[in-house]
Amino acid sequence: MNELDRYADEVWDRFIDFVSEPVSALNQEQVRDELARCGLDITNAVSRVQRALATANAKNELAAAREKRASIVEKLTSVVAPRIEGLRERLDGMIAGKLKGSVQAAYFRKLEEAADEDDLRRLMDDIERLDALADIDETETET
């Protein structure tokens, strides 16, 4: 039987409280000094706790990102451009009015290359989804 097992934990707690200041009364520097004086190195323990916290935070961020992605995909799949007469002309006006810079140039090029009604519908869907994404970004920056 070793000396520590001779008394119950409560007895040792009372003894330690008697011979030392309460931990709540010490600042961090004093706690570090006291640990060093006792020859205790808590570097590994602190590193393990920090890694565990970082892992927990990363898991929470990943779950939030997955949830956000699912929401965005759901919104995008629900956006379908309505059937429009004169679709090519309508697309030309939308591209000129809603898009800017290199995105606008890319969509004009796609419009020129569109061979049939299906190509035009896909282009319209893309532009509508681009608008929906912009609305999602605006909503998130406001909150």
pLDDT at 34: 80
- pLDDT higher than threshold 80 for residue 79: no
Given pLDDT bands bounded at 50, 70 and 90, which one contains residue 84? low
Q: Give tens-digit pLDDT for 56-77.
A: 999 999 999 998 888 877 776 7
**Domain layout of the chain by residue ranges:** 9-63, 79-142
Q: For residues 36 and 48, give the distance between their C-alpha atoms in angstroms, rounded to a whole number.
A: 19
Buried residues in 98-131 as b, exposed as e (16+ CB within 10 A): ebeeeeeeebeebbeebeeeeebbebbeebbbbe
> Is residue 48 classed exposed, middle or buried when 0-12, 13-18 and 19+ CB atoms within 10 A define those classes?
exposed
Token duo for residue 76: 């995008």
pLDDT at 61: 93
Given pLDDT bands bounded at 50, 70 and 90, which one contains residue 1? very low
